[in-house]
Chain A
Amino acid sequence: MPDNDQAMRTHVATLPVPEFAETAFTEPRALRDARVAIVTSAALYREGDPPFAVPDVHFETIPDSARDLKLGHVSPNFDRAGFAADLNVVYPVDRLHELADRGAIGSVADFHYSFAGNQSDTVSEVRLDTGPACAQKLREDGVDVVLLTPV
């Protein structure tokens, strides 16, 4: 039986990883008061929108209420059926609302964001362009905490 996960671990270990001189680190407000957003690399997009290309460095803005989501991440090398069964296993938006309802987090952001994982080796586009643009939108929405879900 093929071990896809081990094959991917072996492959990923050969990929270049950017080294940053500094780590951005802040102390956010208390979680019970914090506004939380999701940023995922699953390349999610909405019904009727064009799919992500290969490669594709843009990001999608996903309204919090949207559930008509498609999995745009093109790699065949991950368990794609988990998202088919339950989008929360990749994009836990319903879990965030449950946390907000019970007062564990302050609120859920009005918008969440989706990138493709197939970025360039230098991730220059995310560092210099799309990352700051996405961060600006998060700040405009008053987001305190971002949950990153890689796929």
Chain B
Amino acid sequence: MHPPRALYVEFPLGLPLGKPGDADFQHRVLGAAFALLGEPAGPVLADFPEAIKSEDTEPLQCSVPPRYDPELHPAVDEAQGLRSAHDRAVARNGRTTVGSHVSRDDIPDAIGKFARIAAGEPWDAVGLDGSAGRVGQEIRTYYEELACELADGPAGPWAVERWFYERTQTGKVLLEARRRMRDAGAPQLAWFLLAPASRE
């Protein structure tokens, strides 16, 4: 494609400036990119000298609440218990990606619908329509935003994603719901967005 000036960064996908919350590192990336403006001819493709490897990531230290209401599905109970953490995250950041496809108030109810799919109910009989994928993605975002508030220290690349799918009840529900929806022939957009493709 030959863009005029490009800086190749060996960072995990989704982190073009490298490290969240590390202004010094981000300035080093910007400095290397802007240095290419001095090149007299192009196209120019330069390598940033520092790499970030996701396999070096430490597991996220982030507690989930104990069971509170035994009448609820564990994932729904968990999501309700984490609401105050999400409130703090929104207050601190002044923004949230949750709310375009499911409101924060409706997150537990939406998780309950995915739990029914995971338990074997037909995906198109629980009240999730073609936007199931976008709703599921906002559920993941709800957890990822609050995890940044609860975690002990900054999270390494992919650490929050791993915590969500491997340590939370809701992450496990979304993985099982995705498997069942895919196997049932649901539209790809309804299940594909529920988890990274490499997770089986």
Residues of A bordering B, CB below 8 Å = 1-5, 7-8, 11, 17-20, 23-28, 31, 34, 47, 50-51, 54, 67-71, 74-90, 92, 94-96, 98-99, 105, 145, 147-151
Contacts and interface: CB of A to CB of B under 8 A. Distances in A.
B196 A89 contact: no
Given A4-B158, A81-B148, A84-B141, A76 B4 contact: no
B20 A82 contact: yes
Interface centre among B26, B198, B199 (most CB of A within 10 A): B198
18 contacts: A4-B197, A4-B198, A5-B13, A8-B13, A17-B1, A20-B1, A20-B2, A24-B4, A26-B4, A47-B99, A74-B133, A76-B140, A79-B15, A79-B158, A86-B20, A89-B20, A148-B3, A149-B16
B41 interface: yes
Given A80-B161, A81-B144, A81-B147, A68 B94 contact: yes
A69 B95 contact: yes
Given A79-B15, A84-B141, A95-B27, 16 more contacts: A1-B162, A3-B54, A11-B197, A25-B43, A27-B40, A70-B95, A74-B137, A76-B195, A79-B158, A82-B15, A88-B20, A89-B21, A92-B26, A145-B34, A147-B33, A149-B17
Nearest to B189: A54
A25 B157 CA distance: 34
A34 B38 CA distance: 13
B70 interface: no
Contact of B141 (A54, A78, A80, A82): A80
Interface string B84-106: 00000100011111011100000
A74 B14 contact: no
Interface residues of B, number: 63
B54 A82 contact: no
A76 B191 CA distance: 11
Given A54-B189, A89-B19, A70 B100 contact: yes
A8 to B, nearest CB: 5
Interface of B: 1-4, 12-21, 23, 26-27, 30, 33-34, 37, 40-43, 54-55, 89, 93-97, 99-101, 133-134, 137, 140-141, 144-145, 147-148, 154-155, 157-162, 189, 192-200
Contacts of A99: 27, 30
Contacts of A76: 137, 140, 192-197
A149 B198 CA distance: 24
Contact of B144 (A3, A18, A20, A80): A80
B57 to A, nearest CB: 9
